[in-house]
A and B are shown apart, each in its own frame.
Chain A
Amino acid sequence: MMKTKLINRLSAGRCLRSVFLFAALGAAGCSAVAAELRVWTSQNGKQLEATFERLSFDSVKVRTPAGVPISLELNRLSDMDVKYLRTVVEPEIAVKVKKKKKSVPRNSAFMHEDDNGYEAVTLTVDIRKTSKFPYDGTLRAEAVMLGEEVNYSDLYRVVAKNVFPVTLPEDNGGQCEFSFEGRFRTYVEYTGAETRGIEYGGYLIVLSDARGKVVHVETDLAWLNTPEKVDRLRTFRYFTFLNQECKKRSVPQPKRVAQ
């Protein structure tokens, strides 16, 4: 699955450094699964205590407490077990993000000549389940939008941060869509000394399951190329300043001009 994502991303002409991100994501994702010991019941009433490992075509791979791997036929499992599987089998996901810009309407009679006004950027995130096995769980989508400070090098600001519930019901084709908005503005500071403000910088979408395991990451930020950076960015609140290392930076203040 990770390989497919990687190939898709490379074919889309995105940065090669994303390789590290997804390689690390895969490793981290596997280690994050909490093995839950439970009783599996077949349709004829036979029971087995084991932990779920993975779904492989029409069989379920489980492991007993003694460490013995066992394969169970999917079509012979009880309804309860199938329901359970529909919440724990991680879906394969494809994400498309569309960006739309528009100017925020203003009152022309009172516009200040040095204020360029706000530009609203709306990102519409389309999430589709590409795997066949149904998924009844709810994913959590963390959506972050960054602005890039003008006249500063390597300085970004969190301009939007939202969390969205994502369900992928079969009757909707396993698809879910949400959108979120960030506002960007540049203006000449009243001191006249500098142009300040932010322009669109990029986005980060992180999808995680009910256990907190990250199942997908989508970004257009080429420098967001390690899992550590992604994790740090996820901890920042609205209006936090950061650099490309995803380290917090102090708030830039207007320059003083001698009067």
Chain B
Amino acid sequence: MKNAAKKVKGLVKGAPAGALISAGIHLLLFLGLGSMVVFQFIKTPEPQFESPPPVERKKMELKKPKVKVKNSTRPKSVSRIMSKNVQSMPSVQLPELSGGGTGLTGGGLGGFDLMPDLTEMSLFGNKKSISVGNDLVGTFYSFEYDRRGNKIDCGDFEWDAIIADYIASGWNKFKLAPYYRSPQKLYTAQVFFPTHYSEWGPSNFGIPSGPDFDPIHWIVHYEGKIKSPRDKPARFRFWGMGDDALVASISGGEYNNTVVADFSWDWFELTKLRSNRQSVPDGEQNFSLGHANNFVGEWFTLDPNEVYDIDILIGECPGGRFSAYLMVEEEGVMLDYNTEGMPILPAFKTGEIPDVVRDQLKYILIKGQANLDHPLMFNVY
């Protein structure tokens, strides 16, 4: 190996001179041609864009689309709710007519009174105040939609948690700011909804009850003021049942957002009152109310000189049947009993229930489960 290495090291004496000449010529050619290539490459002009010559084209003839559009075709509904008919107006505006109508049989008949559309007076309330100052004002929220009306999904337990948080915050409306709120408020004197199908519930708030709205995970918050009808301190307590939510709290005097009734469905924990709620009044049996059993709230005392704020929340979680019976018992007052032995309690109210609403309530109320005609009323004015 050593000998071989020595052989290739340095110029080899005695090698042919042609080889050296050839190497020199190749070296010169390499340098010369290489410099030419670089020189020519540098001198090559950059390509310039030239627009192609214009092409003559025939004008296209415009044709009407052949697709026929039916007049009745409506755009596909998107998952967004829009309230409708926010302001109520009587459907009829008549010019002044002399006389009130004499009827077919001559005198006596008053004919038609020009009154607001009574069909708008629903169980949820009227679009206009029915008893100024005494109304419970209801605001509708849906947790299935965001504040702009776009669909969002809300689970049953989220619905529960949102309500619990809202009540615990002292009815702080910022808690519900992310969710849809109907601009239509409704005015009512009572919060009393015998069992019926929840599918048709929120339509009175201007919410479409058809396929454009999912009638679940909604609440209505009623706010108002109450005053004791007695001239000395008196004790009251609520009775009732809610499917799915029915909570009432009062403020004023010794009370500060004090929950006095939580008659919500068993699955939910909307208030702390749930754990110590009396489900069996005075050791008696549970009484049936609608499609479930009634519950009894806490006693509270109303001072005759005090005006109290009252907040009542009702709601529906998964859909199906809906009810919210809110009745009131006054301590020491004797009442009639129904065939089940349950006292027939007056529906809680802050004003007179309009006849048309009373009849609608009676139509879906099992006889003897509440008294809609009782004079007990908590009106301020």
Contact = CB atoms under 8 A, between A and B. Distances in A.
A237 B367 contact: no
Contacts of B109: 231, 234-235
Contacts of B95: 138, 165
Interface residues of A, number: 55
Interface of B: 91-95, 97-106, 109-112, 114, 118-119, 195-200, 209-216, 288, 290-291, 319-321, 339, 355-356, 359-360, 362-368
B114 A163 contact: yes
Nearest to A160: B119
A210 B94 CA distance: 11
A82 B366 CA distance: 62
A114 B198 CA distance: 12
A230 interface: yes
A252 B114 CA distance: 28
A234 B106 contact: no
A153 interface: no
Given A237-B356, A238-B356, A239-B356, A251 B363 contact: yes
A238 B113 CA distance: 12
Interface in A199-246: 208, 210-214, 217, 227-228, 230-231, 234-235, 237-241
A24 B106 CA distance: 11
A7 interface: no
Interface in A94-147: 104-112, 114-115, 118, 138, 140, 142
Nearest to A105: B210
B357 to A, nearest CB: 9
Contacts of A11: none
Nearest to B361: A251
B101 A110 contact: no
A164 to B, nearest CB: 6
Contacts of A160: 119
Contact of B103 (A111, A115, A118, A234): A234
A16 interface: no
Contacts of A235: 109-110
A124 to B, nearest CB: 15
A176 B365 CA distance: 42
Nearest to B364: A254
